[in-house]
Structure 1
Amino acid sequence: MYGAMRNRASNSSQLAGLSIAALITALAGVALANGFGQTIIRMIEIPITFTPLPEEVIPEDPIKRETTLDLGSETLSAPEPLAAPIITFTFDDPPFTGTTEPRVIAPVIPKASVTPAARPVRLAPALIAQALPEYPMSARRAQQQGTSTLDVCVDARGRVSSASLASGSGHATLDNAALKWVRNARFTPGKLDGVAQSVCGHTVVYEWNLADARQ
């Protein structure tokens, strides 16, 4: 095989040399044809050195080594399982003390919640602002003064249904003038839970003062 490779390399070198020589000859002919016949062409033979290709090294086949593992005649076996330890628990029950009679639990009765009844809302009659009673002329001359306390009943329309003297001023002229005045007065009616009602026993106090009479 190695001899065949050397022959191929030698043939390749010879072919390359012939090709170069033919190329030089052709160039010389072309030059002569173009009018350069007077030019002396010196043929110089240049030695061509060819480096042969390195020989292909084919590695040798690796040596197959057969390794035989001799286990011998020993037999492998799984390890024996460890025995679990036996643990013993001892419980000492405490002595039982007490009675064996069942315990009676009294039932719990919920207390009923009592909602207190709402108290009624009462509104007393109110005197509407109006002109003061006229001071009697005889009382002014006599320089009479005092306080007249009146007890009146006011109906649901706000009118006085009755009036009486609860406490006098000490002068009949002043007390009669006060009763006359209150019987014609107007009130806002008394109310019970927002509903107008007749109310008796309402007290009206009027104070007679000469200073007011001089105005």
Structure 2
Amino acid sequence: MNFTQDGKNPSKNYVGIGVVILLHIIIVYALINGLARKVVDVIQPPVETQIIKEIVPPPPEKKPEPPKMVKKSVTPPPPKVTPPPTFVPPVEVKVATPAPAAIQVSQTPPPPAPPAPPPAAPKITAPSASSMSGCSQPEYPRDSLQNEEEGTTRLALVIGPDGNVKNSKVDRSSGHSQLDRAALKALSLCHFKPGTSDGQPVESTLKMDWVWKLND
């Protein structure tokens, strides 16, 4: 179709072309819109709707109100009027004053005096054999030498305040009478330092041993 040759007015041709284009557009739109609606109707599933009722909690129970205490007005009884006591005059009572008791004073005897301390023991010193003087030593008897007699003679000598022997005896024998007599005779002639009591010379007894021994 050649529009340029047949028409004399070119503007009319443009109008016809526009109308044709518009019709095409409307047809295409109608087709597209109709198909789209069908597709939506096919794809979209039916929607079920449910009405959910809201659960309303029951109203709280009302606690019963405690009974109200009704104060009863009590009318107090009228006060009792006590009549005044009858006046009784006091009775005079004479009280006898007791005589003062005699005070007994007990005299405690003074405590007994403590006993006197015992007298101090006197300080005694015994005579010593080492102070022997004024005599010769006992001699070995001849028979005792021949018989080779040995032993120890113990003598008991009573020493007077002056230091001399007042009495003597054999306190223990040597086993040989000749040796005992020789010791007693010689030592009874000796002088000793006497024993003392509180510094004063007194009579005392001295026991001394004399040993008889042969020289090898």
TM range (shorter): 0.3 to 0.5
How does the TM-score come out when normalised to structure 2?
0.43
How does the TM-score come out when normalised to structure 1?
0.43
Q: Could you say which structure has the larger radius of gyration?
A: 2
